[in-house]
Structure 1
């Protein structure tokens, strides 16, 4: 054998070794194939990876040798040929060979591959009964038909019988080797395994690769790629990109624990000399309507007329002739603006997306439609204003009126920013179903017993069973019959028909008829132990999952009927997408979709009527802004000092919350530990909802108060005017006020601040004439991990790799139940790593989600004074990591620099405004709810403004509403809207409802994000910042 240049005993068809390659990737083919199966691979991998196909005996230049598959001989050849770093890829049969080759190398203590890539292959301890299993002995034509149907042979070969006869002996020999293979239990491989599954592979469905977890103790990463069993040909670019990324991860080093995350290469850059680092990718969220639109209803002349009257008796003031004339003139002018906006096609399209029925109200505002009661018109104008202020002034990411824009942070760029608007507002638009709509159709399918039998059966994610007992959160264990226990063991996400067939032949199940099996499944579903249906994930991928579920229906006419219904929905949804830019066509298309939906599901076409941020409609549109922005070194240097101050405080906040809730959880643990038996996480989780979300004194409230008190100590007496401090001045005191060397939990390594840059235009920004305002600090929250954003990123897998690098493997992620507040598929986490653990705490979709652990299966115990949670596989985690998703929610809410007060001044660190000027009152004290008549309401607003010393343009947050809204205090239309909000809050919740007012910063004339026409838009820059100092320390 030789290890240089040419082949090793004919095993490798490589004339010369690729110079400069870091890796050799040895590729083992599927049954009946040889090295030529990988002939297109070298060009897809670039210079860093040398693809080395393995030539197996008895084929392609080795025809004189026996058709044998000898893993020992393969291992000898690979090790003799390999350079310092190598990996194995095996497809189908090759996956089994790759495992055996690696096992040989392990057992003799030889050099090991750094990765074992297994594709379309079951774990070695599992046998299958798919269309390509147990077919080696089939007659010639049947065997060929099976392989052709699976995509393993071109159909054209059916016309070349001589060629088939040449290939068949190789295929039969390979298949016979697989059928004769018997697994011998051995320890897991000390090699990281990465699996690839074809999304539509019926021979080895994706779920069957999950068992590879049992065969490695070095970590498992799982990928799904488009295609069937032989996806290595059709999706080569995607497959190669994933393999290259995995090998790059291996090259940059391992990541053994949360205590020592790997320092990533390339995806972030230093934030000055602070020890923090900023991700190169960033988000620029912005509005879809120009900022100047907020001034359309302004009436400064009316305000000037009204203000001298506010100290008079209200009855006298409201009848003042000059005021009455000015008020009427301003109202008419505002009504004219409302009529113009009601006819604006873009506004009508935006409103149509959010509330199709609201278009009827806009119709009544159109020019020439002024009949009817004045009060009804004012009501419609108020509704229009609420939409308008949101579209012009709120940086929500939704539709074309809130497009996503990925931007770049480049420390090599010597300018503040380079900004290039495209030709239009948006670059791309996509329409997705809401997950609940797909669930409704899936439920309609499941209502048919014949169809339901082909849908997955899976144990509910919060349920753990052990022997003859099933454990549920906060409830007594459920005794299981032998048959029920057998069902739970078999319910692994396969269709019910497969589970029942298996149980009918299993002696321990005691089931002999299929119908008995289905009745048992149904009973366990009613008990809450099983889920039986499409079980669609709460994610934009739900649509593709539903398609796979329908494709897996193995009976007719059920499958065709299910597909026809989905095709009808698709046609209606596609018509909605095609209506982009035409509000009338959109209204008709949305109406047609609603009719189709109700026809095929029997369900109403809207849910949660009246709620906001609830995913109420059947579908939604998201878009990508047509804008290119690169932020350079000057902006980073300007922000480094102030952000360092804030980020150090954020680090301390995570530690304080971890300590406070650690103590609270300890107390609850001691209560549970006093009872007989182990303490299950599900029971502790249930009790913990009190200190987490209850109405009494909570740990987060004490921590937040302490956080604000420490900030007050830093800034000193604030007084009434703006407070300005420098980062250099505050830095020594921050170290003493917020001492923390590392975050309180693993996700605390990453924070996401929202920054609003105030500049009159791009030219002002580029010459350094700007200031920055902190919008929100998402503490311990990697906000890029959100489907609505990652859909538009050029390489979401790179984001996933980067996040795993920063936060470490095995993160605990919460499996959110479907009714979790404001959590929809659109905003679902989208960067989960294969090593992440999904914690089941309540019923919810779980089929197809690998690595989930039921809370009822985790045991909590005290070790060395700290609480740890142990899952059924014996893996331990600090309890704070298990609760980290909930603690992060409190960290975001707890990052308030100032304690609530009637007035707090604007606070700035250098050029960063860290807290806007704010006023607080109540509905009753404002007097806004008591005013009667629109003119009187306007005077009440002006009086209130003068009493508090408010600017003319503000944001108002009434505690009965989710979000603040913009108010121009000079406008009679906005005055009516504000008073209506106050009156509604008093009606719903009483006179003491808090009202918070915040200065508007930036203002419309401080917006710099441009379009091609020169119009400017509100925006906020969302950064993702990593605690590199804590990682390296």
Structure 2
């Protein structure tokens, strides 16, 4: 069962957090004392050669390299791309469009936010994050109760619990969303401010577990000068459950070492009633897991550190009385808590730090834009009726479907540019009702999926303050890691 669930490792296992896995694997295979290793090294060298030409290739060349890479990997090792393995829910592939090769580019823009503008980023977020923190703690307690009920009154190795129950649904808290939905006076309004609802305290019990999250913030302003004057709109984008100003996210940062050092000190300053442990799972999503300070348990992934503080796989146990459960370490002799790492499972939710999730408020067919503390915490949203779905899909050609879309958009009062979030798709797709190619992608997905939520593009196109020399407009996110439970270490806000 451990092998089937990807819990066990071997000597050729590539460290989960390494940035260049093919290079790492080639080095490991090269050390094998057998003739078969040479054939594998030759194959891996061929893959590295294809990868080396990817960055300079044009679009057609990149497609050819993708195909050549996938063909070589499949023919020599029987490794198929995620899209060929089945639905994303079965393959654990977060992005159905993820390809074998990808490239990440570093630009030359340097942005420094300081003084009043920087302080506003934190203070404006506090009301929303207080609500999200309350929901996270309630969800964690519900998850612990669910695991206790599943395990019963016994003590079980953690890896067995993870293998058996991680696919069970997470009992998400709905009470916070209900409170916020009740504060919306007019569901037909375009925007609703929830500032009249008193948020819970962020401080809480001194013995409570700390909160750690990373928020992708978007600033909407006419230009950078308007932002500096305070004429801007702050929009909450993706919400992450861990400190993502770390590792691969800093690969282009010229002061990566200094920033990571500050983050280590900030994490170290967090009050913790129990030790915090990193569990390294196998890299099934294409996203690099983070290895934080402290002990590490290799549960399908291996540490990238030469002298990591490893706890054996069988060191962690779940102690349960059938009602409450806790995670304990034999070597440490105490209860422990896990760092989060974008692993949205029942077991990880139960035994990790409270997992911060975005607020999700729905009032049915239409939900206004929701603001808290001067921050847009949820964009204006629409749900399509069955009649609207049928009208959009009834057209026989692009022209007919374009006319139908313009009619639906006009009747619902939607802006030209929206994002469509389909069930079981992790990322939304951009829809511009004026663009037949984008509309075609949206309608193709609409034919396959039963549920979709449309949300406004915010910042809107005229709020994209970053302009290129040629006049092009570009989106920008500011990734901010925030922590509660300690005083920030010097330099931790960088």
Q: TM-score, normalised by structure 1?
A: 0.40
SS across alignment from 2:51: helix
SS across alignment from 1:624: coil
Hey, what does 1:792 align to over in structure 2?
A: 252
> Per the alignment, do residues 803 and 743 of structure 1 end up closer, same or farther by CA in structure 2, a change over 3 Å counting?
farther
Hey, what does 2:104 align to over in structure 1?
A: 622
| Aligned residue runs from structure 1 range 72-87, under 5 A | none
Hey, what does 2:343 align to over in structure 1?
A: none
| Aligned residue runs from structure 1 range 74-473, under 5 A | none
| Aligned residue runs from structure 1 range 756-905, under 5 A | 756-778=218-240, 780-785=241-246, 787=248, 789-808=249-268, 811-818=276-283, 820=284, 823-824=285-286, 827-833=287-293, 835-840=294-299, 843=300, 850-853=308-311, 856-861=314-319, 867-878=325-336, 885-886=348-349, 891-893=355-357, 895-905=358-368
Hey, what does 2:396 align to over in structure 1?
A: 933
Hey, what does 2:19 align to over in structure 1?
A: 540
| Cα drift, residue 961 of structure 1 | 3.8
Q: Deviations over 1:49-75 (max 9, x none)?
A: xxxxxxxxxxxxxxxxxxxxxxxxxxx
CA contact (8 A) 1:786 1:830 kept: yes
Q: Distance in 2 between matches of 1:784 and 1:1000?
A: 25
SS across alignment from 1:784: coil
Does residue 126 of structure 2 align to residue 644 of structure 1?
A: yes
Hey, what does 2:370 align to over in structure 1?
A: 907
Q: Distance in 1 between matches of 2:326 and 2:247?
A: 29
> Per the alignment, do residues 665 and 925 of structure 1 end up closer, same or farther by CA in structure 2, a change over 3 Å counting?
same
| Cα drift, residue 627 of structure 1 | 0.6
Q: Deviations over 1:443-483 (max 9, x none)?
A: xxxxxxxxxxxxxxxxx9x59xxxxxxxx99xxxxxxxxxx
| Cα drift, residue 845 of structure 1 | 5.5
| Aligned residue runs from structure 1 range 506-521, under 5 A | none
| Cα drift, residue 585 of structure 1 | 5.1
Hey, what does 1:1019 align to over in structure 2?
A: 476
CA contact (8 A) 1:785 1:831 kept: no
| Cα drift, residue 629 of structure 1 | 0.6
| Cα drift, residue 965 of structure 1 | 1.9
| Cα drift, residue 953 of structure 1 | 2.4
Q: Distance in 2 between matches of 1:569 and 1:783?
A: 29
Q: Distance in 2 between matches of 1:558 and 1:970?
A: 57
Hey, what does 2:185 align to over in structure 1?
A: 717
| Aligned residue runs from structure 1 range 555-634, under 5 A | 563-577=41-55, 579-580=56-57, 582-583=58-59, 586=62, 601=76, 603=78, 606-609=81-84, 613=95, 617-634=99-116
CA contact (8 A) 1:868 1:876 kept: no
> Per the alignment, do residues 545 and 902 of structure 1 end up closer, same or farther by CA in structure 2, a change over 3 Å counting?
same
Does residue 145 of structure 2 align to residue 663 of structure 1?
A: yes
Q: Which range moves more in the overlay, 765-774 or 938-947? A: 938-947
Q: Distance in 2 between matches of 1:963 and 1:684?
A: 29
Q: Distance in 1 between matches of 2:221 and 2:238?
A: 19
Q: Distance in 1 between matches of 2:304 and 2:244?
A: 26
Hey, what does 1:979 align to over in structure 2?
A: 443
Q: Distance in 1 between matches of 2:63 and 2:360?
A: 45
CA contact (8 A) 1:918 1:996 kept: yes
> Per the alignment, do residues 939 and 546 of structure 1 end up closer, same or farther by CA in structure 2, a change over 3 Å counting?
closer
> Per the alignment, do residues 927 and 943 of structure 1 end up closer, same or farther by CA in structure 2, a change over 3 Å counting?
farther
CA contact (8 A) 1:742 1:1030 kept: no
Q: Which runs of 5+ in 1 are unaligned?
A: 1-459, 464-471, 474-527, 986-992
| Cα drift, residue 800 of structure 1 | 4.0
Q: Distance in 2 between matches of 1:862 and 1:1030?
A: 34
Q: Distance in 1 between matches of 2:29 and 2:360?
A: 52
| Cα drift, residue 628 of structure 1 | 0.8
CA contact (8 A) 1:859 1:871 kept: yes
Larger radius of gyration: 1
> Per the alignment, do residues 755 and 802 of structure 1 end up closer, same or farther by CA in structure 2, a change over 3 Å counting?
same
Q: CA RMSD in A?
A: 4.0
CA contact (8 A) 2:419 2:431 kept: yes
| Aligned residue runs from structure 1 range 947-962, under 5 A | 947-959=411-423, 961-962=425-426
| Cα drift, residue 607 of structure 1 | 4.9
Number of residues of Structure 1 aligned to a counterpart in Structure 2: 467
CA contact (8 A) 1:923 1:994 kept: no
CA contact (8 A) 1:928 1:979 kept: no
| Cα drift, residue 828 of structure 1 | 1.0
Q: Distance in 2 between matches of 1:1030 and 1:1002?
A: 32
| Cα drift, residue 568 of structure 1 | 3.8
CA contact (8 A) 1:712 1:898 kept: yes
CA contact (8 A) 2:213 2:242 kept: yes
| Cα drift, residue 1022 of structure 1 | 1.5
> Per the alignment, do residues 633 and 922 of structure 1 end up closer, same or farther by CA in structure 2, a change over 3 Å counting?
same
> Per the alignment, do residues 604 and 758 of structure 1 end up closer, same or farther by CA in structure 2, a change over 3 Å counting?
same
Q: Distance in 2 between matches of 1:615 and 1:975?
A: 18
Hey, what does 2:156 align to over in structure 1?
A: 679
Q: Distance in 1 between matches of 2:30 and 2:359?
A: 51
| Cα drift, residue 758 of structure 1 | 1.0
| Cα drift, residue 792 of structure 1 | 1.8
> Per the alignment, do residues 648 and 1031 of structure 1 end up closer, same or farther by CA in structure 2, a change over 3 Å counting?
farther
> Per the alignment, do residues 598 and 685 of structure 1 end up closer, same or farther by CA in structure 2, a change over 3 Å counting?
closer
| Cα drift, residue 1017 of structure 1 | 0.5
| Cα drift, residue 1005 of structure 1 | 1.5
Q: Distance in 1 between matches of 2:39 and 2:161?
A: 46
Q: Distance in 1 between matches of 2:332 and 2:373?
A: 51
| Cα drift, residue 954 of structure 1 | 1.8
Higher-helix-fraction structure: 1
> Per the alignment, do residues 906 and 889 of structure 1 end up closer, same or farther by CA in structure 2, a change over 3 Å counting?
farther
SS across alignment from 1:967: strand
| Cα drift, residue 636 of structure 1 | 2.5
Q: Deviations over 1:881-916 (max 9, x none)?
A: 7988435799454x3252352211122245422222
SS across alignment from 1:955: strand
| Cα drift, residue 999 of structure 1 | 1.6
Does residue 171 of structure 2 align to residue 699 of structure 1?
A: yes
CA contact (8 A) 2:127 2:199 kept: yes
Q: Distance in 1 between matches of 2:290 and 2:160?
A: 29
Q: Deviations over 1:275-334 (max 9, x none)?
A: xxxxxxxxxxxxxxxxxxxxxxxxxxxxxxxxxxxxxxxxxxxxxxxxxxxxxxxxxxxx
| Cα drift, residue 613 of structure 1 | 2.3
SS across alignment from 2:108: strand
| Cα drift, residue 939 of structure 1 | 3.6
Q: Distance in 2 between matches of 1:856 and 1:1002?
A: 48
Q: Which runs of 5+ in 2 are unaligned?
A: 89-93, 341-345, 490-494
Hey, what does 1:297 align to over in structure 2?
A: none
CA contact (8 A) 1:756 1:1002 kept: yes
Hey, what does 2:91 align to over in structure 1?
A: none
CA contact (8 A) 1:904 1:918 kept: yes
CA contact (8 A) 1:725 1:909 kept: yes
| Cα drift, residue 812 of structure 1 | 2.3
> Per the alignment, do residues 541 and 930 of structure 1 end up closer, same or farther by CA in structure 2, a change over 3 Å counting?
closer
Q: Distance in 2 between matches of 1:866 and 1:718?
A: 41
